[in-house]
Amino acid sequence: MSILDSKQYKEIQRQGWASVAEGWEKWWKTIEVGADKVSRRLLELAEIKSGSRVLDIATGIGEPAITAARKVGSSGRVLATDISPQMLYIAKQRAISLGLQHVIEFKEGDAETINLPASTFDAVLCRWGLMFLPDLRTGLSNIYGSLVNGGHLAFAVWSSSEKVPFISLVINTVSKETHKPALPTGIPGPFILADENVIKDFLTKSGFGDVIIEKMAVTFTFDTAEAFTSYQWDTAFPLHSMLANETQVRREEILKSVTEAARKYANHNTGSVNLTNEAICVVGTK
C-alpha cells in the first residue's frame, strides 16, 4: 500500500470507528463475556505483573488496557493508544468509572507513526488490531523500539474466515446478497494474519525472538439472532459501506438474511445464538 493509499485508508478507519463508537459502548459487555479470556491470556503471555509498564495498541474502548491496569496496580503504568479519539474518549470514561485514571494514560495515534518512548515498556499488547495496519512491518518496528530488552509483545488475531463465523457469516451473506466481493484483496482485514508462517515471518524480520503461537476458542453469545444482527449494524462500520448504495427496503432484506444465517447457530430451547471462533494468540520477545 502506497503512502497516499495508506493515509486515505487510515482516514477511512478513523472516520469509521468514530461512526460506531457509541455502538461499541452499547455492546461492550456482551463482547467482553467472550473476549475477556483473550485479554487475560495475553497478560499471561506477556508476563505482566504488579508494577509493569504496559503499552496497549488499538485499545478501542479500553481493552486489554483496563485488564492490564488492574494487574499492574498503582505502581505500574499503562499507555493505551488508538486511531479514534471517539473510542478513546469512551475508554477514558470507563477507566475513570473504575478508578483507574491514575494508572492508564490515553494517546491518539496509529501504531506505525505514533511517537513512542524508546526502551520503556515491559510489555506491549494488542487484541485484534494488528490485522488492520496498512504497514505492519513499520508498526512492529515502532513497537519493538518501545520495548525494554527482554520485553514481550503479546497479541491476538483471528484465524481463517471459516473458523470465525462471528465475522465471516456477515461478510459472506452480504457478499452473496449484493454480488460484491467479500473482502477487497490487498487491503488489511480481519483474516489477513490467519497464517502462522506469515505471523512468524513478520515478527522475526522485526527482531522478535522466542515466538510462541497458540489457538484459543472464543464464543460470543447473543440473546437472539436479531440481536446478533443489531450488534453487527451498530459496531461494524464496513457493513454500512457494503450496504451504502442499497435502498432502505433492500438493506432491510439483506440484514434479515444475516439474521437467518445467524439463526443456524441458535439454541433450539432458548433461541440464543452462540458463535464459537478461533483466535490466534502470539507472543514474541525483544
DSSP secondary structure code for residue 266 in this structure: B
What does the pLDDT read at residue 202? 97
Is residue 117 helix, strand or coil? Answer: coil
Tell me the C-alpha to C-alpha distance, in Å, between residue 121 and each of 60, 68, 147: 20, 13, 5
Tell me the C-alpha to C-alpha distance, in Å, between residue 124 and each of 36, 79, 92, 144, 201: 17, 9, 19, 9, 19
- Smallest CA-to-CA distance from 103 within 125, 82, 79 is with 79
Q: What is the rounded CA–CA span in Å between residue 147 and residue 123?
A: 7
What does the pLDDT read at residue 185? 67
Q: For the chain of 286 residues, list the mean pLDDT of each consecutive stretch of 10.
A: 75 94 96 96 98 98 98 98 97 97 97 96 98 95 98 98 97 94 78 96 98 98 98 96 94 98 95 97 98
- Phi first, then psi: give them for residue 114, nearest 5 degrees: -65, 140
Is the overall model pTM greater than 0.85, yes or no?
Answer: yes
> What is the enclosing helix (H) or strand (E) of 154?
strand 147-158
What does the pLDDT read at residue 181? 79
The CATH number assigned to the domain with range 3-285 reads 3.40.50.150
What does the pLDDT read at residue 146? 98
Q: What is the rounded CA–CA span in Å between residue 201 and residue 213?
A: 12
Residues sharing a CB contact under 8 Å with residue 278, sequence separation 6 or more, in sequence order? 158, 159, 160, 163, 164, 215, 216, 217, 218
Q: What is the rounded CA–CA span in Å between residue 272 and residue 223?
A: 4
For residue 253, give the C-alpha cell. 432484506
For residue 199, give the C-alpha cell. 505471523
Each domain of the chain, given as residue ranges in start order, spans: 3-285
For the beta carbon of residue 109, count every other beta carbon within 10 angstroms: 15
